[in-house]
Amino acid sequence: MKNSSRIWRRTLRPRAPLYLMLVLFTLSLAPAVFAGKSSIAYTKHKVLGIGAHVITINMNDLDVKLTPAVTKYGVGYSETFGAIINRTRPTAAITGTFFDTRSLRPVGDIMVDGEMVCRGVVGTAIGIGWNNEVEFIPTKCGKISEWSAFQSVLAAGPRLLSNGAKAVYPRGEGFRDPRFYSPRKRTAVGLTANNKLLFVTTTRPVYLSRLAKMMRALGARDAATLDGGSSTALYYRGRYLARPNRKLTNLLIAYDNLAAYEIARQHLAPAKTRVSSREAKEEG
């Protein structure tokens, strides 16, 4: 009776083949692997001897959304980096365009969700289409540009790369500040040949020419600078990778899913400060 009981237990619990155990183990890991998969990722690099924080955004994923964001009260006001992040809840964010520290007015055009928020007349514009297409467009210095083909626009600059070639000429884009010609902590945005957008900040001061080479080394074909120096800011999934030493007026932010973007949409720019595309065109 004792021996038959042992046989009965062995029959109910046969030893699983090794290959089956490996399959079950792999399947058990799958949720953890796929849960971490995202079209927005962060890495830290050393590029041409310079430390750089790099956020890569896959613009081929139509669930990704890229947009500027301004302060709670609109143009002419500033806000802490953390406050803008807490209100808009992006996956990633970087400093936006330069602004006048007295008037707090950005120096380049900003359009959010098809509506003008701010008019400026310098720089290179990052145009974001309705289907995630991204273009780097030179503005006509001193003249109003028309952006009806895009959902959102952030005019920053100066340009760093154009179709893979170095294209650094701040004065030609309307920038006169001597700080463009000295080493500073920098931020930049670039687009690769396979439609990946890069948010980049340097860990130490560099010249614009050096930054252009760094962006090319990272794979960018087109690139432009954003506000830097004491405005240098970078955020990724709850981590402040670079904190600015001043309040800011605008950011360039990204979401890895449309649901999060839709929730934040009303917080990207206050409605009372928006100037419709039609009105902006009439002003020009």
User: Is the domain of 23 the same as that of 52?
Assistant: no
User: Is the domain of 138 the same as that of 278?
Assistant: yes
Q: Which amino acid is at 8?
A: W
Contact 119, 111 (CB under 8 A): no
User: Is the domain of 74 the same as that of 201?
Assistant: yes
Q: Using CA atoms, how far apart are residues 171 and 10, in angstroms rounded to an integer?
A: 83
User: Is the domain of 9 the same as that of 99?
Assistant: no
User: Is the domain of 20 the same as that of 132?
Assistant: no
CA distances from 177 to 158, 173, 225 (A): 12, 12, 14
| pLDDT bracket for residue 12 (50, 70, 90) | very low
Bridging pattern class, strands 65-70 and 234-236: unpaired
Report pLDDT for 242. Answer: 97
| Each residue's pLDDT tens digit, 185-219 | 999 999 999 999 999 999 999 999 999 999 999 99
| Each residue's pLDDT tens digit, 83-94 | 999 999 999 999
Residue ranges of E strands in 96-192: 110-112, 115-118, 124-128, 134-138, 152-156, 159-162, 165-166, 187-192
User: Is the domain of 263 the same as that of 225?
Assistant: yes
Domain that includes residue 70, residue range: 39-283
pTM of the model: 0.82
What are φ and ψ of residue 3, in 5° steps? -65, -40
User: Is the domain of 84 the same as that of 118?
Assistant: yes
User: Is the domain of 23 the same as that of 72?
Assistant: no
- Total domains, the chain: 2
User: Is the domain of 11 the same as that of 149?
Assistant: no
User: Is the domain of 25 the same as that of 96?
Assistant: no
User: Is the domain of 116 the same as that of 137?
Assistant: yes
CA distances from 10 to 13, 61, 81, 251 (A): 5, 52, 64, 65
User: Is the domain of 198 the same as that of 265?
Assistant: yes
Report pLDDT for 70. Answer: 97
